[in-house]
Amino acid sequence: MKPMKYTMSLAVAVALAAAVNASATDSAASSPFLGVLTTATSAELPAKAASLVAKADAKEMKQTTIAVVKAAVGLNPAAAPVIVGSIAQSSPAMAATAAATAVTLVPNQAAVIARAAAAAAPTKAGAIVEALCRVLPTQYQSIANAVAEVVPGAGKEILTAIAMAVPALKDAVNQTLVSYDGKVSSVNTMVAQIAQTDTTAPSLPQGPTVGTPVVQLPAPVLLTPSSGNPVPTGGHNYATP
């Protein structure tokens, strides 16, 4: 009886060990760069992430960028803009991919991430706007304005990127460009104009119309000072016999 119990206990222990090893292997496979990035300090993390992307093979650079950003931002979410900026600076072609990956993890930092990516890779301003607007289409205004702040000469690219990422806004963008003869003087102003014609936002249900209540007042009755008798509203008709 005892040998049987010992054999069963040993089998359970081996099974548990195998499960733990499989889990560790899966974790390492899903985030192959996590081990390397974990050894970096908070100050070293952005540069380390950028270095991993820059060293990647050209065919695997996009997937590497996605994996590195996920791992790095997962370790330090507050550093997402700096991480993206470092990657964009060393590998401009990956600026849009890095920014889009980061905002899926920290969407509340979308505008700051957009600004950091565009400042580091200004020639990719349009691609950055398009990539971020595809992830967060309702934030197109803040994303466009953030990029325009650091790359003011990319106005037309920014508006075109919005139209590409959010098809529902294509007509509004084109109409706005036409009204300005194709010249983009202020992205902020033009995006605000596009927002006014934005029909993508759901309309709020309208409640019943409430007007001013009508109160019927009784006809006034006048009293003569001497007699106290009521006098018709129009006064006495003394001409009537």
**Model pLDDT, residue 23:** 37
Instruction: Report which of residues 10 and 221 the model is more confident about.
Output: 221
- Say what percent of the chain tops pLDDT 70: 69
Token pair for residue 137?
Answer: 């289409």
Q: How far is CA 226 from CA 31, 37, 133, 219, in A?
A: 104, 104, 85, 22
Can you tell me the distance from the alpha carbon of 186 to that of 190, in angstroms, rounded to the nearest whole number?
6
Rounded Cα distance between 195 and 41, Å, is 42
Q: Could you identify the residue written with the tokens 């001497």?
A: 226
Q: How many Cβ atoms are within 10 Å of 68's Cβ, its own excluded?
A: 28
Measured on CA atoms in the order 169, 174, 180, 186, is the torsion positive or negative? positive
Question: Using one digit for the tens of pLDDT, what is the confidence trace for 210-233?
Answer: 444 454 555 555 544 555 555 555
Domain boundaries, the chain: 14-198
Q: Which residues of 19-51 are buried (b: 16+ CB within 10 A; e: fewer)?
A: eeeeeeeeeeeebebbeebeebeeeebbbbbbb
Whether this model's pTM surpasses 0.75: no
For the range 179-183, what are the long-range contacts, defined as Cβ-Cβ under 8 Å and sequence gap of 24 or more? 182/156
Could you tell me which residue, 1 or 168, shows the higher pLDDT?
Answer: 168
pLDDT for 237: 52
